[in-house]
Structure 1
Amino acid sequence: MKEQWEWRKQILSLGLFDLKKTSAGAVLGSFWFFAKPAVYIFCFWFALEVGLKSGNQTGSDVPYILWLMGGLIPWFYMQDILGAGIDVFKRYSYLVTKIKFPLPGIPTIYSISTMIIQAGLVAALLIVFFLCGQTADWYLLQIPVAMVLMFVFFDLFSLMTSCLSAISKDFKNLLQTLSTPLFWLSGVIFDVYSMGIPAIEAILMFNPVTFFVTMYRCAVYDKMWIWEKPEAIIGFVVVFILQLIATTIIYKRTHEEVADVL
């Protein structure tokens, strides 16, 4: 935290630069940041609500598209972290090998650029929310809180996994292999709380993806507070503490070797 605070201006500047660099060379520029999520959302909406009639099974007057977007939009951020975010030291290898830049700040660069895209997707979610005839309420305040928690959690996750990925390519391959199963087994496109299998529901409460998806849906669809589902909070807190401990241990043991390996 100390290193990141001292280098905060450089980290923010590099995060914004990374976003500009990604869209450089494209005529439509930043449009492509939102085109792919929009296509994904439409395809899932068509398959689940039009094809499988899942919207009729919720028993709610709130449009099903809000439930679906409440799960997919946070997943887009987490998917990026589980993709390029698990190996950012190689993505920004020049900061590791050629510049004296603090290692903990490098994952934050990618997290910032990815979170800016997430903020744009949240804005789109709110537009759909109001177009569906919903009115603003206090529950929407859970979204910025969820975004902050998601940023902190996955920034730590990116630091931990990048240290390990720099040491071993097998770890990177393992995480990339698990990305797709994580999507299908995390309640992104199904309701964890209506499974009717208590043991599995209890296990999924320790899945951070499930927690963030639940928090978004509490804000835009369920119209309730996340603390009304204490099992989700308990599971997330336990996982967050364990990850914080693991990240600290792994960073202390590997940060001096990362530059040499790269």
Structure 2
Amino acid sequence: MSTLLNIIRSQWERREQIFTLAMFDLRKQGRGTVLGPVWLFAKPVVYIAVFWFALEIGLRSGSGSSNGAPYLLWLMGGLVPWFYIQTMLGTGCSVLGRFKYLVNKIKFPIAGIPTIFALAEMVIHLGMVLLLLVVYFLFGQPLDAYLLQIPVAIVLMFVFFYMFSFTASLLSAVSKDFKNLITTLSTPLFWLSGIIFNVYDLGIQWLQVILMFNPITFIATLFRYAVYDKMWIWENPMAIIGFAVVFIAMMVAMVVVYKRTYEEVPDVI
């Protein structure tokens, strides 16, 4: 517990610097281009359009919900959080190497470095959430209490994948094999996490139970319950239990890995 409190305290004490560095990193991504910030959202928007055309128009596999919500909202409910998660799985697992000058020269708290990256990417994610809500209202969907699940999903996603990024970046710093493992698993996770298929339509009970322990599936489910299915997440208690178990396990793993590697990491980066 003392280690966890130390991780939180070190970031709270540097909160202004963390926010400033996050905004600097965000601006750096669009530097040197005419359109600037537009490119931060261009790729996700293109991906959404291509998947929508391929699945609903091409394969005709999409259909609206019983309450009139279009298939596009269901698709965006999975893809919008996935874009953030994909970045945290990819670049996020080597974020200490990305900001190694903070470790070696400035002696910045290691625990705060993944937060810098996570905050910068969260700004892009919030822009995509805004786009999702624009599409939601353009299709005439109601302003209701179910939408409150979106900020809950955002907070849970931010905290969980911060812990994952921090843990993975520590392990990646001491072992390149771990980084290669995460990179290899990124694409399979997309196809196996219910991003472009409904896990509840599988008809295989044991497989659905396993998928409930996948945090990516849980986050996508929260988004879809808010904008498409119009359900509350507690109506699916197995999903809550599965995410809670993985969340606690991830927190324990982060604390244990940090405690064992934080002295070694500055020497190997």
Whether these two folds match at TM > 0.5 is yes
Alignment partner, residue 178 of structure 2: 171
Alignment partner, residue 78 of structure 2: 71
How far apart are 1:248 and its partner, in Å? 0.3
**What SS does structure 2 have at the residue aligned with 1:54?**
coil
Quick check: 1:142 aligned with 2:149? yes
Normalised by the length of structure 2, the TM-score is: 0.96
Q: Residue type matched to 2:226 in 1?
A: A
Alignment partner, residue 89 of structure 1: 96
Quick check: 1:98 aligned with 2:105? yes
Quick check: 1:153 aligned with 2:149? no
Distance 2:61 2:240 in 1: 27
Distance 1:236 1:26 in 2: 40
Encode CA deviations 1:107-142: one digit per residue, 9 max, x unaligned.
Answer: 000000000000000000000001111111111111
Distance 1:52 1:2 in 2: 51
Distance 2:66 2:228 in 1: 12
Q: Residue type matched to 1:144 in 2?
A: P
Alignment partner, residue 15 of structure 1: 22
Pick the aligned partner of 2:9 from 2, 20, 24: 2
Distance 1:118 1:64 in 2: 21
How far apart are 1:80 and its partner, in Å? 0.5
Distance 1:104 1:230 in 2: 32
CA contact 2:63–2:70 (8 Å) conserved in 1: no
Structure 1: unaligned runs, 5 residues or longer: none
After superposition, where does 1:1-262 map in structure 2 within 5 Å?
Answer: 1-56=8-63, 61-262=68-269
How far apart are 1:58 and its partner, in Å? 5.6
Distance 2:165 2:154 in 1: 16
Residues 57, 29 of structure 1: alpha-carbon distance in 2 compared, 3 angstrom cutoff: closer
How far apart are 1:194 and its partner, in Å? 1.0
Identity among equivalent positions (%) equals: 62
Q: Which structure 1 residue ranges, 4+ long, deviate > 3 Å from structure 2?
A: 56-60
Distance 1:119 1:55 in 2: 26
How far apart are 1:56 and its partner, in Å? 3.2
Normalised by the length of structure 1, the TM-score is: 0.98
**What SS does structure 1 have at the residue aligned with 2:244?**
helix
CA contact 2:64–2:71 (8 Å) conserved in 1: no
CA contact 2:163–2:254 (8 Å) conserved in 1: yes
Distance 1:159 1:258 in 2: 12
Encode CA deviations 1:194-249: one digit per residue, 9 max, x unaligned.
Answer: 10001110100000000000000000000111111111110000000001111100
Task: Name the count of aligned residue pairs.
Answer: 262
Q: Residue type matched to 1:47 in 2?
A: A
Q: What is the RMSD computed on CA atoms of the aligned residues? A: 1.0
**What SS does structure 1 have at the residue aligned with 2:262?**
helix
Structure 2: unaligned runs, 5 residues or longer: 1-7
Alignment partner, residue 4 of structure 2: none
